[in-house]
Chain A
Amino acid sequence: MKNNSFDMSKGVDWTLVGVYLVLVLTGIASIFATTYRDENIITGFLSFKTDYSRQLLYFFLSAVLAVFILLMDSKFFTATSNILYFAGLILLILVFPFHTDVKGTKSIIRFSGFQLQPAELCKVFVNLALAKYLSSTDLNFRKLRSQLVAACLVLVPAVLTILQSETGLALVYFSFFLVMYREGLPSAVLVIGFSIAMLVVMTLLIDQNVLAIILSLGAIGFIYGLQRLIKRNKSVLVLIISIWAIAVGIQRFAVPYFFNNVLKPYQVQRIYATVGKDFQVDTESMSEEDIKKMEDKKKAGNYNVKQSKIAIGSGGFWGKGLMKGTQTRYDFVPEQRTDFIFCTIGEGFGFVGSIALLGLYLFMLFRIIHMAERQRSVFSRTYAYGVASVFFFHVFINVGMTIGIIPVIGITLPFMSYGGTSLITFSILLFILIRLDADRQMVLR
């Protein structure tokens, strides 16, 4: 600190810090509500053996890290972002030889009692690296090449994460496309991406042949409607036909191929379960063990969602009150302190509490966007958008999956879910933003 008058708190966005504290404390209260079992509360909190006390410990760790980050110079992040990115990649790769098997995931390294999930932590580094890349002075993001480089920055860790059987965490990286969109990625990319997503959903919902007929009829309708245009310009016809061909190709061949050969059967079944269908897997080529595993996973997935819906649904309008929820108190919802922590709020505080919590998250997201737009440096702005996108993705997917509108992919609810890596990662992510925002007058490169 060269400047003696340096004030750590100068320029800090206290609103965001306040929201952060509220969310973390609500999270600890929720974990307490689900895991407290009549032990002495004081020793329970001090022993660091109970989940809520451990989460409290992680919170203290996060706070220390936060102070540490706030004490740092903003330039540190621009300067080290690339190094950190590669360090993160190495960490991700190190997982392969050194991982510990915990609950079917291969993404965790364990040392001296603590677990680290690099896939979770890597989000920070990817966000920094992406911000660094997008803020480089000689970058023309309209060029396809730069767009591809940005996409690669994001997708490499995503692929590594998928290889660690953490599809959910890998999907988070796709949220960075929202950042790229903000920085000039053509909307067409998003529109096409969205259309393909819609097509995939339609493929799940509608019978293959019927959908093909609908698509064909649509194409014929377009050709008929645009007759005049086509007469003048043959390429319109070619465009329509190729769109039709791609669409039918996706729904008839690409999706089935993807489902049968890329995704694991239990994942396909979870996706189908979300739209309320039972997926019949071709079990002939599978070993008996695999079939059993698949059945177990399918059951577990469906059971989770069913129990979580019961818990949230039984909360009603006002909820049953903290610690009074029968479903979350007595372990009916599996993973209820981690991925399904939202159930505790839904059951204990009902519709009112759930909406309040969602409102708080939405407020936080809007606040971050507001902060992003007041940055002078592209790096800070891009980083802020990255934070917003990651938070948005986590909250939307997590809550969506507990209330059964999105397939169960295990990702956490920011600041609330139990878990050290998750809480610390999100804290770092947020406090770097606060640090950068505090220096918003500075132009960082």
Chain B
Amino acid sequence: MPAFNQSRQNVIKLLFLVSFVILGIRLLFLQFASTKYDLLALDNAVSKKIVYPDRGIIFDRKGRSILENTQTYDLMVMPTQLKGLDTLGICNILKIDLEEFRERVIGAIVKNGRYRPSIFESSLSLETFVQLQENIFRFEPGFFLQERPIRSYPFKAAAHILGYVGEVDSSILKKTNYYYQMGDYMGLSGLERFYEPILMGQRGVRYQIKDNKNRIVGSYEKGLYDSVAIAGRNLRTYIDIDVQVIAERMLKNKLGAIVAIDPRSGGIIAMASGPTYDPNMLTGNQRKNNFSWMLRDTARPLFNRAIKGQYPPGSTIKPTGALIALDEGVITPSFGLGCGGAYFGCRRPIGCTHKTPGHAGNLRVALANSCNSYFSHLYRLAVDNPRLGGTAKGYLKWKQYMNSFGMGVRLGVDLPSEDKGLIVDTSFYNRLYNRSWSSCTNVFLGIGQGEMQATPLQMANMMCIIANKGYYYTPHFVKSIDGQLQTDTVLNPYKKKHQVTNISAETYEIVQLGMQDVVEQGTGGVARIEGISVAAKTGTAENYGIIYGKREKLKDHSWFVCFAPRENPTIAVAVIVENAGFGATWAGPMAALVMEKYLRDTLSAARWKEVERIENTEIILPIVRQKRSRLDSLRREKMRKLQLKATASGNLPQRQNQDKKSSITVYHLSAIKPENEEQFV
């Protein structure tokens, strides 16, 4: 029975075929032509968990850890899971009000989105942590605790050396080509920053599969793509933490710096900058608060004066002037000058503290007496050296010497952002004096004033050169890296010996003896240590500051540079105390205590008393003190308000601890910058 509409079967078949072809084409686009869904699927189902290794630990020369890892806990929030949660309960534990709670949640959503956990409160205090841990089941899964390793500093010292770690910002992300990720911690300053690749180790990555409720259900591809975290490596340094602590104590209530180097290796024994701060302040939950107060302090506690403070070196440069003159051969150690209380070689006389005839009879005597006339003259002799052909060329040669001694250039210490001090180029004088200048124009360079600035580190390094009789190793902190590899080239530059003069050992002996006389007969008597021969040079540097827009002469900086024992030096020290007056008054005793502690490894009770005396003396310019107390009262007022608010909302004031800690350091608005004031004209 042939069907009447039999041909219609073909229409129906065609309809089926076309429909299925449409499905096929769509599948082709979905599965073959687009990789977008792969990524979306990965994003759906695979979570990448970074496993953070422990950061390396830093040890001092005796193997004591001066920085360690401890655990802290962050309270994390998951914004999507907050519905029906006991919000008030968590507010009570954290002692915040509902408005603050809301703000934080919104902040978290803005930062990381609704579906990813964000930090609600970081580095919980022990008390809060204990309370939360007992109660956290009530707040899960909206809130949970996450362990995070942080740094701790058992000696509460060496803040400037060690630096701090902090969350990376977007500029670092870009610079490191996104090796770091949002929320990662890295060393942001000090050794933490310089040795970041070694200290941080290698992050591990664990890929985990999660289900539609974001629960982890297993590892992805059986861990094929996972990588193991490798712990950071430890650093062994030259630092003597006891010396460091004493140095920091003595700089309390002062602006200044102390640098102590072992000249035999260039290893830095101590480097203190005053005022300093307890490095633990920059790890806990008050980190941001503390940081911002310190930023506002006129005395700039975050500023490492040892490598960034640039001061006119004053008389401490005189041994260097002698070295240059000797190396150029313009004088011999027996060279003498008759000085009657001033130098008349140039138009304006340069005053000298001594009038007695013969106080500059030869190099050794002139050094011991710190004769201004003598070293002004040496400078002129070196620059006007007829063999060099003209003042400009002579000056360039002089500058070259200075640079090779590490003055006016970055030494290359293993800390970031070292400053290079100042030794100007001839072009500076050409511009200023329209090319008509002579050795008289800048004769003050001979006595460490004028267009010359040096960092305390450079001055300490200068002492190393004299102590070593002609060479130095670039100053550095790190002696070795635990588990050092062939590929670790970071320490190589510090193994290179820099030979900078061709002066005979005997001649050096004379310079050293002159410096020893400074201590034994001259201006540096305060640095005398029983049974140890100390060679030293004092310095009293004139300086100017701009206060409220007016250039004013400030009280002199107190400099003291030295090394000991003179015969076989194992420590070289440079100390500066800003605006403390005569070099021997404050810088001298500080340098002596540092050397004694290092060489003897112990201090007598009397010497400890001396440390205490220095520690308790405040040497700060009145203007700075004024600003500091103003900011201090501002801070106190803020704390009082915070406490009032806390009491009003029924919570106990919790900030007393922090208050006490923070009053150790001082906080000021930046109005003057004495150490960076330009000295020319």
Contact = CB atoms under 8 A, between A and B. Distances in A.
A, B co-complexed:
yes
Interface of A: 178, 181-184, 307, 309-317, 326-327, 330-332, 346-347, 350-351, 354-355, 358, 361-362, 365-366, 369, 372-373, 376, 378, 381, 385, 388, 392, 396, 399-400, 403-405, 443
Interface stretch (B34-42, B82-90, B669-677): B34-42
Given A182-B5, A309-B37, A330 B45 contact: yes
B31 A354 contact: yes
5 contacts: A310-B37, A312-B31, A326-B209, A332-B45, A350-B31
Interface in B125-182: none
A347 B30 CA distance: 11
Interface in B1-48: 1, 3-6, 8-9, 11-13, 15-17, 19-20, 22-24, 26-28, 30-32, 34, 36-38, 40-42, 44-46
B612 interface: no
Contacts of A365: 16
B31 A311 contact: no
A392 B11 CA distance: 14
B31 A362 contact: no
A346 B38 CA distance: 13
Contacts of B217: 330
Contact of A313 (B16, B37, B210): B37
Q: Is the interface of B mostly helix, strand, loop or mixed?
A: helix
Contacts of B30: 309, 312-313, 346, 403
B502 to A, nearest CB: 73
Nearest to B34: A313
Nearest to A181: B8
Given A312-B31, A326-B44, A330-B212, A184 B9 contact: no
Nearest to B6: A373
B31 A366 contact: no
A443 B42 CA distance: 59
Q: How large is the interface on B (under 10, 10 to 19, 20 to 34, 35 or more residues)?
A: 35 or more
Given A184-B5, A313-B40, A326-B209, 4 more contacts: A182-B5, A313-B38, A313-B41, A358-B24
Contacts of B45: 326-327, 330, 332
A373 B3 contact: yes
Nearest to A366: B13
Contacts of A388: 12, 16
B601 interface: no
A300 B209 CA distance: 23
B4 to A, nearest CB: 6
Given A358-B20, A372-B9, A381-B3, A311 B27 contact: no
Interface in B375-433: none
A346 B30 CA distance: 10
A198 B24 CA distance: 21
Contacts of B552: none
A369 B12 contact: yes
Given A332-B44, A396-B20, A403 B27 contact: yes
B132 to A, nearest CB: 31
A351 B31 contact: yes
B37 A182 contact: no
B211 A313 contact: no
Contacts of A385: 12
A313 B20 contact: no
A152 B8 CA distance: 23
Contact of A182 (B8, B31, B41, B210): B8
Nearest to B210: A330
A392 B30 CA distance: 22
Contacts of B46: 326
Nearest to B8: A182
Contacts of A183: 5
Contacts of B19: 392, 396
Contacts of A316: 31-32, 38
B43 to A, nearest CB: 9
Contacts of B12: 178, 181-182, 369, 385, 388
Contacts of B6: 373
Contact of A310 (B40, B210, B211, B213): B40
Nearest to B16: A365
B620 to A, nearest CB: 65
A299 to B, nearest CB: 14
A311 B45 CA distance: 11
Given A310-B44, A332-B44, A373-B9, A396 B38 contact: no
Given A181-B12, A373-B9, A351 B32 contact: yes
Contacts of A307: 44
A358 B23 CA distance: 9
